[in-house]
Each structure stands twice: as structure tokens, then as C-alpha cells.
Chains A and B, each alone.
Chain A
Amino acid sequence: MKVKSSYIPYFLILPAFAYLLFFVGYPLVQALYTAFTQNGHFSLATVRKTFTDPYFWDALKYTISLAGVIVPTQVALAIILALGVNRVFKGKDFTIYALTIPLTISDVAAGLIWYSMLSPSGFLNKLLLNIGLINNPIYFFGYQYRHMEFLAIVLAELWRATSIVFVIILAGLQMISHEYLEAAEVFGADYWTRLRKIVIPLLKPSIQSALIIRTLFAMQIFGIVWILAGRDIPILAGEGFYRLTELKEYDVASIYALVIAGLSIILGALYIKFMKAEYLEVRG
């Protein structure tokens, strides 16, 4: 079979394109249709119904505030950990291995682990009670303790998902050529100056990838919240799921899905726009 060589690239991307069309395009169109039509006609009734539900705004607020607390903390933590690990010391491999273990644990499992640690009869409370620091267990769960549930979610997410950021940042660090650092040292730059002027700027592409990945996942946060806080702390994915499975409100659930998709697209675009990677060679 003879194929004009200029078509080959198109054929090569065809499988990927078909995949996206089938698994992303089709559901997206279906969701748009379900959300914006009623009895076959265009309608904004579902949008109105969703936006007048206080749960929606709570879910939006909590999803964004959870991401706002979790993602920056994770990036900061991951940079510190990666800088700490990125030098030669005994047990380096083991340290990296230990730090990445949570990566293999699903969010639901992580939620259950933290639930059993933080529950009134759990490890943390038993420890504190036994050493006499507290007289009554600290409650982390329940509607009355929503701020503690928020804290528990943040802790569990930091533990579980910092490792993915850590891996990306560490890979980025290892890419930085020692020549730059040695040259800076020759010119008398101290550790902080080297960090600020060389390491962080060169890390920007890695930080950008890590931020995009983490923020997008943070918009979809579900399992861990569902386990630790139920609907005490509503979140977008959880409300969408509840509407779909419990209330069979396919239209409202579609709006939730579209809001998550919309947020992800906007945030992704913002990161790409404002976090342009820098290369020392091409800096003017």
C-alpha cells in the first residue's frame, strides 16, 4: 500500500485522536446536552436549579479552598524534601523509596488509614491520652467538627499526594547541570543565592508540571473527602456523584462535571500562561 508521506503524521495521531473523541469528546457532548436541554429543547433550568442550591456554592468553596491550602503546601514541602534528598548521603535510595510509598496507595485507602489514626479511639488520641497531654479525645469527625475534618483531609492529602510532586521536582533537580552551580560558587554565590538565582528558575518547568497535575487532581478530589467527612464538607465531585447515584438527577450531575472540567481547563491555561519556563541560555 502506498501512502503519500505527508499524510503519515495524521495517520499516526489517528488512534490517539479516536481515543480522545470516544472517551473525552463523546461524554463531553453528552454532558453538555444533558445539562442544557429539557425535553429536547435548549433550557437553562438545570443551571438555575444547580446555582440556587446552597450545596453547590459550598462545594465550590470547599473544593477551591482545599486546593488552595493543599497544593501550595505540597509544592513547598516537595521542594524542601527534594533539596534535602538531592545530595550524596548514606541511605539516599531508601529515603527516596520511603517518601514515594504513599504514591502507591489509593485515596480511599489513604482516607481509611487516616480515619483510623484520627478517630476518637484511634492511634493519635490513644497516644495523647496515654502520655497525659489530653483528658478527652480530640474529635476530628462529624458535622460539628467540620474545621477538624478539613484539617484531617489536608493532612491525609499532604501525606498521600506530596510524593508525586516530590518525584517530579526531584527529577527536575537532577537535570540541573552542576556546571551552573560550580560556576556560581566560583563567583562567590552562597547557597541561598544559588537557590534563588539558579535552582528555582531552572526548576520552573518541573514546578509547572507538578502544579498543573496537582491542581487538576485537586479539582477532582473525592475519595478522601468522602471517607473522612462524608457530605459534611461538600466538594464538587462528591456532590456530582451524590446527585447522580442517589437522586438520579443526571442533568444536575452533568453541570457539576462540566464545572469541574471548566475549572480544570481555566486553571491549566493560567498556569501555562503565567509560568513560562525559563532557560538561562536564552534569557536576554
Chain B
Amino acid sequence: MSRKIGFAGVLVLVLLGAIVSGCIGGEETTSPTTTEQVTINWLSTQLNPPEERAFVQEQLLKEFKDQSGIDVNFVPISYSDLATRLEAEEQTGEVTIDLVADLHGGLDFFNSQAWLEDLSGKTLEGRTFISTFEKYATIDGKKVYIPWMSATYVMVVNKKAFDYLPAGLTQDDVMKGTEKWDYNALLEWAKNLKEATGQPQLGFPAGPKGLLHRFLHGYIYPSFTGYQAKNFDSPEAVQMWNYLSELWQYVNPASTTWDAMGEPLLRGEVMLAWDHTARIKNAIESNPDQFVVVPVPRGPKGRGFILVVAGLAIPKNAPHQDEAWKLIDYLTKPETQVKILENVGFFPTVQEATGAIPSGPLKVLAEGVTAQSATPDAVVAMIPNLGEKGGQFTDAYRTAFQRIVLKGEDPETVVKELGPQIKALFQEMGQEIP
């Protein structure tokens, strides 16, 4: 008896372990049902967290089914798994994926491997895509993907901080992102704030899970050197690091423990902050009258900022291309885009949607984002797609920050040491240095 029980126990344990660890189960069936009812497979690296996934399945896809009668199998997947699966399917010719959603960088790579259909001939009624996105989605004359959602990183200002603006800078300059709203003005402003309130009022998400590295490679580097990585060890870069060290005196020191700026803004620990829109959304939502979202400052080479674009693309030889196109049509409708912004905080890619946002916190956010995108001196940066090496890329910027700004090492020595490492990453991946 004991043996039987023991064995059964082990079996149950092993099975449980396998299920919990994800070895067994969870894989959704991909075969269409026996009737003519079509089910399309949509693999997405976006909207993967459980609550976002629930929004897609319970709201978006339900409504889509009501309208079109088409079932959608939404499969959240990591970038590396998606790339592996797409490669395998394209090589064997047995394509089961009808639609993929990924960031610009990933889709750019899939296109370079000739895994995507050209969407040039097709049109979508009643919407105008924002021209920047349209431009990036067309690669060598081929329409690679349809821009679906966007996100960016902005500055949030507690309205009280406008009382301490430096001479010559107006609230309007900051809100519109004029010529005068530059990094020197930010320094003066942060200095005024510290002197007036006795405490540093500028904050950055420099904690271990914070996104400070995006500020470094996508904002301040392009603003000072014109490029994200190309001029990493140039004299302009050294100047930039000296600037950042000076600015850091007016930055709340607890920044090195913050992963997202929403909370510190709400707690009143800082009045100025830079972060990803999703990570300051809660502050704006709780207190829409207290905060405004503004464009980032500019530097000598322009106003560097990152645009994150997620697009929808159809794999080459996908089995249900017409149905997939219907889903694309649904997902880029202005109403759907507003719904996406309201539920998961990604910004629309079609102009009509921006006008359709009801006033309130989201409007505050969207206005700031639009003002930033519309600045004439924009130097748009796309997050490089280095796959698994992406971590090493961002780590190099964080290391430079830590050594130069926090530990006070000589900037020239540090950038000369790290520059070749960063450039080597792009060479290894066979990509142009951005």
C-alpha cells in the first residue's frame, strides 16, 4: 500500500511541478474548429500582463467578434519566442500565425528576414495615421506594419513649480516646448526650486527597475550629441556628463531607489519628474488638476526623445489574411484607440483618436505627448532592437551614469572605456549604430 501511495504522491507532485512551472498545459490549441468558423491566431509581445491580457480578451476581442463573427486566439508571447516561432513557421512553410503585434524594432527585423507581407495596397477608411508613425512603418517603400499603439517618456510638472521658473522662461515655453525650454533652463529651474524649498525637487527613476537608461540613451544623448550611441565617447558627450553631474546636485538623492515616478510625485517628494507615460499615469489620474505633462527640454543638437511604436503586421503566407486585416481595421479605429488609451495607457496612432479623448487626466497626458511629438526640433529615437543583448546595452549607460555621476569618476575615461563595448553590440547584431 505504502508504495502505491508514495508513488501516487510523487506522480502528483511531479505533475503539479510541471504544470506550475509551465512545462505542461497553458499551450492553447491552434487548430481551427471543424466548421467554417474561422479562428485567427494573433501573437503579441504587447499587452502581456494579466490585466492587459484580460482587457484584450474580454473587451476588444469580444466586441470584434460581435461585429465580425471572427474568433481570435490571442497569444501573449515574448519577443524571443515570437522570433523563434515565426522563423520556424516561415522556413517550413506551415504558417499558422495570422497577425503579429510587436514594437517597431522587432517588426523591422522580421521584415529584414522577409517574413512579413507588404501592406502597401490596402487602405483603412476614416482615419489618418500620425505622419511620424507612418514614416517609420514604411521601410524601403514597403508598408511593413500598421502603427497600432504608441508610448513615450515625458516630463511631469507639479503646477506649484511654475512659481519658481528661472528668469526668461515662461510656463508657455515649457508647456509648448519652445526654443527656450532647454537643459540649461532645467538646471536653473531645479536650482531655484532647491534654493526656494530647501529640498531637491527634480526626480528620475534611477532605481534598479527604473527606466533612467532610456533618458540617457534616448533623451539626453541625442540632445547633446545628435545620436544615441554613435557619439557615445565624443567631446559633446563628456560635456553632457559634466552637465548631468551638475544637475544631479538638484535631484532628489532618493532617485536611486525609485523605479517609477508616479508615487514620489503624489507623495510630494518631487515637483519635476521624467518617466514613461505609463509610470506617471497614476499621479495624473489621482490628481489631474495638480500636474501637467510637458515636452522634455532640448539640448544643443535638438530635442531628443523616444517614441515607442507597436505595430500590427501580417506574416508572409498567413492562412487568414483577410480576417487579420479586419482585425487590424478594428484595432486602429479611433474609438478602439481611445478605449486602449483608457484601459492600458497606450497612446493612439491615428489623429482622429486624439480629438476623441474625453477631458480629464488622459487628456492632460495626451496633450503633453502630442506637444512633445509636435516640437519642430525633435530628434526622434527608437529603442534599438538588440534582442537578448538589449540588457547589456542599457546596462552600459547605467554603469556610465553610476561611475560618472554617482561615484564622480572622470567622464572621459569612462566613456572611452564603455563606448567600444556599446558599439561592439551593434556590430555583433549586424546593425547600424544609432
Contacts and interface: CB of A to CB of B under 8 A. Distances in A.
A124 to B, nearest CB: 14
Given A121-B268, A142-B252, A246 B395 contact: yes
A226 B394 CA distance: 19
Nearest to A135: B198
Contacts of A231: 207-208, 256
A19 B13 CA distance: 7
Nearest to B18: A22
Contacts of B402: 143
B267 interface: yes
B401 to A, nearest CB: 10
B391 A232 contact: no
B6 interface: yes
B254 A119 contact: yes
Contacts, number: 90
Contacts of A242: 208
Interface string A110-144: 00000110011100000000000000110101111
A249 B388 CA distance: 9
B257 A22 contact: no
Contacts of A226: 208
A143 B208 contact: no
B268 A232 contact: no
Interface string B1-42: 111101101100110010000000000000000000000000
A23 to B, nearest CB: 7
B268 A11 contact: no
Interface string B229-262: 0000000000000000000000011111111000
B269 interface: yes
Nearest to B389: A248
A139 B207 CA distance: 16
Contacts of A22: 13-14, 17
Given A136-B198, A142-B257, A230-B257, A15 B13 contact: yes
A232 B13 contact: no
A139 B10 contact: no
B392 interface: yes
Interface in A138-166: 139, 141-145, 149
Nearest to A248: B388
A119 B267 contact: yes
Contacts of B395: 246-247
Interface in A236-274: 238, 242, 246-249
Q: How many interface residues does chain B have, given as a range?
A: 20 to 34
> Chain A's interface: helix, strand, loop or mixed, by majority?
helix
B269 A228 contact: no
A232 B406 CA distance: 10
Nearest to A238: B208
B4 A1 contact: yes
A239 B10 CA distance: 34
A247 B253 CA distance: 25
B199 interface: yes
A210 interface: no
Given A15-B13, A23-B17, A1 B256 contact: no
Given A120-B199, A120-B269, A248 B3 contact: no
Contacts of B208: 226, 230-231, 238, 242, 246
Contacts of B269: 119-121
A232 B2 contact: no
A229 interface: yes
A12 B199 contact: no
B253 A11 contact: no
Given A231-B208, A246-B391, A15 B254 contact: no
A264 B267 CA distance: 39
A11 B392 CA distance: 49
A1 B13 contact: no
Contacts of B7: 14
Contacts of A247: 391-392, 395
B256 A11 contact: no
B108 to A, nearest CB: 21
A183 interface: no
A120 B254 contact: yes
Contact of A145 (B4, B6, B13, B253): B253
A121 B267 contact: yes
Interface string B258-280: 11000000011100000000000
Nearest to A13: B6
A109 to B, nearest CB: 15
A141 B253 contact: yes
Nearest to A141: B254
Contacts of A8: 2
9 contacts: A11-B3, A15-B10, A115-B257, A116-B267, A119-B254, A136-B199, A231-B256, A246-B208, A247-B392
Given A12-B6, A228-B257, 10 more contacts: A15-B9, A15-B10, A19-B13, A121-B268, A141-B257, A142-B256, A143-B406, A230-B256, A238-B208, A246-B394
The 10 closest A-B pairs by CB, nearest first: A142-B253, A141-B254, A247-B391, A230-B207, A18-B10, A15-B9, A143-B256, A230-B257, A14-B6, A231-B208
